[in-house]
Structure 1
């Protein structure tokens, strides 16, 4: 196993063990490669898998993981108050702000994160940076309704993104379509020193549904380090 995957597993295990307790009844499950290990650990802890816990997914991927694991599947429509949500991230800065949406799931991820009493991120050491945009070079993922795509692109340029890019699918001709039927625009703003300010400006654009900037939301982050050990960072 590569050190990267080992780091993800160690961090995910630590996050599950320290944040999903006997009092956790409703649990949000995020998306991405790290979340596979979150489900793996939940299943290893039979007391979590067998009791009456409800697991709320953020994507088709996490929904399948929950179903295939034989866990109790719930929906945000049924459970608008979640005890803890564990999710991955594409990049996390020193203030625990994050960029998410590399998998085009950030709208549902943000809904499930905001519904949680505690939002926890699990990531490997390659996702840790001092400032957003330092390591994640693909740009801020922005979910846009198809009808407004042509309007949003020039608006993003006026906000400082030189080349907003409509995300294209790799295995079909055409753009990536989110689970909500929308398009994804990746907007590179370089180093993002004021993520809250940028988030607010983008959200005000007509046609924008959600932005992959998660600001002042994360309670704690577990980074899997290069030595394979997981390290916890608390919200400042």
Structure 2
């Protein structure tokens, strides 16, 4: 008999916290989304003295979660210079075989990425629906946080990069629940553009195995697509969490990584599936020429 989704989320959160919560952390990142409610619950159940721990939220919702749990929130920009967050827990909208993630369904991707990249380790907690071999298998779009005045230009460039669904729908502004309220605004007062692509995103392992990306047809490798979108003027953050993990970034003398070191999936049968990030061969990622978007500058 399949367990309820919420039961699966709770089981994943409890095991993730049990296995990864440090003995004496100074700062802990708390992400956004429904699964993180169970992460905070599991942290409280540990019975540790948390009075001297600063919990770094990734947005308004997670800050309220921290406060309501009686924990001490600390804003990201109040972290001391040079100090890393000891551990960050967050969810995901979809996770592939290499633990690349799509995040941004809750419109908190920029702050989620800042916290992940300031953390020694990022642990992802999700349910079985988020576990897929390739990104854009079930989750339909790449969320992108954009400056409002640049939104139309960003969407035009995304179309040049092959952004469209299988049904031919191009990138679009995410609307609020009440249509007359207009586009959703993030905590930075930016818009969210959701960009579909016609094929699941390739991994670095696909390229190592000889699979060829074809950006002209909208067939992209995860990291290359993330970099290309980020280079568009007006883009603040791309909801693809990829590249090095925290430990890999430190090994390469880079500050922070955005790919989780492990992901805990609550499964339908009540078990928890743990997947750890494979080490990527980053040298093989750029194997095809980038598209130069051809956007008219005429006024």
The answer, yes or no, to whether TM exceeds 0.5 is yes
C-alpha displacement of 1:2? 5.3
Per-residue CA deviations over 1:162-190 (Å, capped at 9, x if unaligned) read 20010000035200000110000000013
Residue of structure 1 in register with 2:60 after alignment: 60
Contact 2:59 2:187 in 1 (8 A): yes
C-alpha displacement of 1:15? 0.7
TM score, norm. by length of structure 2: 0.76
TM score, norm. by length of structure 1: 0.96
Q: Does 2:150 align with 1:148?
A: yes
The 3-state SS of whatever aligns with 1:222 is strand
Contact 1:89 1:99 in 2 (8 A): yes
Residue of structure 2 in register with 1:178 after alignment: 186
Please say which structure displays the higher CA radius of gyration: 2
CA distance in 2, matches of 1:32, 1:20: 19
CA distance in 2, matches of 1:180, 1:164: 21
Moved over 3 A (4+): none
CA distance in 1, matches of 2:197, 2:152: 19
C-alpha root-mean-square deviation of aligned residues, in Å?
Answer: 1.3
C-alpha displacement of 1:72? 1.0
Structure 1: runs of 5+ lacking an equivalent: none
Residue of structure 2 in register with 1:132 after alignment: 135
Contact 1:3 1:227 in 2 (8 A): no
Contact 1:30 1:58 in 2 (8 A): yes
Residue of structure 2 in register with 1:222 after alignment: 264
CA distance in 2, matches of 1:201, 1:214: 14
The 3-state SS of whatever aligns with 1:200 is helix
Of 96, 104, 114, the residue aligned with 1:93 is: 96
CA distance in 1, matches of 2:110, 2:150: 17
The 3-state SS of whatever aligns with 2:48 is helix
How many equivalent residue pairs? Answer: 234
Residue of structure 2 in register with 1:83 after alignment: 86
Q: Which structure features the higher share of strand residues?
A: 1
Of 180, 184, 192, the residue aligned with 2:201 is: 192
